[in-house]
Structure 1
């Protein structure tokens, strides 16, 4: 039997998104909250580092491995051609900080369409599993990420449609709000990761394109805020949600009974 969730009012949709944001913000402050939030910290690091790696692949370079450390930091290792252009190097560096918010915006948009809830959750779980097999080369990533993937797969398989939707909204808000939690990193030129001092993402963009790292940090935050704002506007659009009301899913047949008696 196909289960339908009736689109709620705009106030209900806003309430769910605010609840998701509250959970993301409040979890670290709760008793044992840091333990509860830890898998999500690792997940946002995965979003970030996969952004670097997949951008490298899209630019014709190689993505070798992904390392995630116990403190939640990470490192994507790629092979970039010696003659690669500065713009290519800058794009790969920008792919990391942009990935969580762009993915978060995409998940918020997907949460507006019931037919996408389960497929997107399944797809996310499969992508995490595949990345662990192909790219992840650190104990923390290998230990935590499969547990997150299993949880998402179970939700997609067994949970109610309402839980499916809220999970997408939660993950979307988690990715979207990472730009605020990482703003200090954006405005830092060098960082310590895995015991090494390396250029931050914006520091690498500065090295490639000359403008100061703080300019690129502000630029990335502006793009991220625009993407998240657009996704929220779409998900909360009254006209789009009202147009979905009363429309049965494609696999549901409707039969109409009329009276034989003439007026």
Structure 2
């Protein structure tokens, strides 16, 4: 008598994962966000993509990045020179949302795409250490994030990397959804206040816009996952 699992059981497990993996990863991401110590690197990750998005917006609109700072509590600061202030200020939260959405989509598209994009992010982190980091704490945080992506690249099974990248994408997306709400603290500082001072559009409008954009991105991923599940 054999107690080895049948191929049919393996197939059923695979189909179950393919059908419900989005919800399982989303639940895992929500749980991780509630764990004080475990969530710290992922808060750093969202903060990094937020700040690098400011920097990319500055470069695209004719400016430069002077420095990127990351702090232990998950906050960050990108100091730029030149460029379009409105685009730069808007791009932080919007950019983090696009990074999270893009990471998930690329990882879902193909297992090799997940590996290639993981290498790209690793190289971007290394460039950030070399060109834009100016203090020990920022270098330390960037090094931790680089090690995380280096370890994911070293995974022997590409499908594990694919799942991890999808989880990273959802965590970045969830953080980019919740982070703008911290601007509503009555202090009128940050990206929302900067945009309000330039455009005369109230800060809360910008906060709601960023929140809605992140929610729309999450819904887009859900619709794609639902469509794939229906095809099984």
Report TM bin, short chain: 0.7 to 0.9
Runs ≥4 in structure 1, deviation > 4 angstroms?
A: 239-242
Question: In the aligned structure 2, how far is the partner of 1:41 from the partner of 1:160?
Answer: 26
Question: In the aligned structure 2, how far is the partner of 1:94 from the partner of 1:17?
Answer: 28
Question: In the aligned structure 2, how far is the partner of 1:14 from the partner of 1:58?
Answer: 39
What does 1:61-72 align with in structure 2 at a 5 Å threshold? 61-72=63-74
Residues 22 and 222, structure 2, Cα contact 8 Å, conserved in 1: no
The number of residues matched between the two structures is: 220
What does 1:27-176 align with in structure 2 at a 5 Å threshold? 27=32, 29=34, 33-80=35-82, 88-114=84-110, 115-176=112-173
What does 1:172-251 align with in structure 2 at a 5 Å threshold? 172-188=169-185, 190=187, 199-238=189-228
**Structure richer in helix, relative to its length:** 2
Question: In the aligned structure 2, how far is the partner of 1:68 from the partner of 1:147?
Answer: 12
Residues 65 and 76, structure 1, Cα contact 8 Å, conserved in 2: yes
Aligned-pair distance for 1:239?
Answer: 8.5
Residues 66 and 138, structure 1, Cα contact 8 Å, conserved in 2: no
Question: In the aligned structure 2, how far is the partner of 1:48 from the partner of 1:14?
Answer: 31
Q: Describe the shift of the 1:45–1:203 C-alpha distance in structure 2 as closer, same or farther (beyond 3 A).
A: same
Partner of 2:29: 24
Q: Describe the shift of the 1:18–1:137 C-alpha distance in structure 2 as closer, same or farther (beyond 3 A).
A: farther
Q: What does the per-residue CA deviation read over 1:204-253, in whole Å, with 9 as the maximum and x for residues that have no partner?
A: 111111110101111222222222322332344329976xxxxxxxxxxx
Q: What does the per-residue CA deviation read over 1:30-82, in whole Å, with 9 as the maximum and x for residues that have no partner?
A: xxx4232222111111011111111111111111100112222111101126x
- More moved, 20-29 vs 50-59: 20-29
Q: Whose Rg is larger? A: 1
Provide the TM-score with structure 1 as the length reference. 0.75
Q: Describe the shift of the 1:121–1:180 C-alpha distance in structure 2 as closer, same or farther (beyond 3 A).
A: same
Aligned-pair distance for 1:154?
Answer: 2.5
Question: In the aligned structure 2, how far is the partner of 1:241 from the partner of 1:64?
Answer: 49
Residues 104 and 171, structure 1, Cα contact 8 Å, conserved in 2: yes
Question: In the aligned structure 2, how far is the partner of 1:227 from the partner of 1:89?
Answer: 25
Provide the TM-score with structure 2 as the length reference. 0.84
Listed as ranges, the gaps of 5+ residues in structure 1 are: 1-5, 82-87, 192-198, 243-263
Residues 19 and 229, structure 2, Cα contact 8 Å, conserved in 1: no
